[in-house]
Amino acid sequence: AALGTAVLGACGIPADSEPRAITEEQIPDTTTTTPDVGEEGQTRLVELYFTRFDGSRDVLTTVEHEVPTGGESGRPTPATVLEALLSGVPTDDAADPTIVTKIPDDTALASQPELNGGTLTVDLDDGIRGVQGNGARLAFGQMVCTVNLLDGVEGVVFEIEGDPVFPPMGDGETSSAPLTCASYDYLLG
């Protein structure tokens, strides 16, 4: 027993004669955090904007849809969300004939969307040129409102095959400034 006490006493932890305060720096961090990392095949529910006729005009409306997660955040990326939107009305919502898309079927991303300082640049291929007038306002409104819901996306600018374009806003006017869903307030149903 004496040998055990001698060994424990040699461990280098001095005994205090009275209680002493411990500073926060002396308290070890024992918490563990698990990063929110998406796994292969994981999906998240997001809102995609489509259009429906409300009896007097076409308006933007949301449809919830599962999309793949991506990146280290485990959240859907702008690319995965836009690809889901560009693929058309989800089959589980296709039963509602009032929900449609104004984005032409042959529209695709020309390159990966890039987020820089809160502004997302969306580069589309020439397929988007197949929509004009009110359809163009709704089509671009679908895309802007859908990605504007994503974390970090404060505004959206567009390119077609790398060339900047200024699509119509909800009121039909164009702007070179980044667009937000508020740019399409007139079309929200």
Q: What is the pLDDT of residue 42?
A: 83
Give the chain's residues under pLDDT 70. 1-41, 70-73, 92-95
* DSSP sequence for 107-150: --BSS--EEETTEEEEEE-GGGGG--HHHHHHHHHHHHHHHHTS
Residue given tokens 């796994």 in the structure block:
39
The CB-side HSE value for 122 (13 A sphere, CA atoms) comes to: 32
The residue type found at 189 is G
Chain-centre distance for alpha carbon 81 = 7
Mention every residue, 6+ apart, whose C-beta is less than 8 A from residue 114: 120, 121
DSSP 178: P
Q: What is the pLDDT of residue 7?
A: 43
Q: Which of 177, 151, 129, 168 is nearest to 78 (CA)?
A: 151
Q: What is the pLDDT of residue 44?
A: 87
Q: What is the pLDDT of residue 31?
A: 36
How big, in percent rounded to 5, are the helix, strand and coil portions of the chain? 25, 25, 45
Helix (H, G, I), strand (E, B) or coil at 75: strand
Q: Contact 58/138 with Cβ under 8 angstroms?
A: yes
Residue 65: exposed, middle, or buried by beta-carbon count in 10 A (0-12, 13-18, 19+)?
buried
Q: Biggest alpha carbon distance in the chain? A: 94
3-class secondary structure per residue, 9-53: HCCCCCCCCCCCCCCHHHCCCCCCCCCCCCCCCCEEEEEEEEEEE
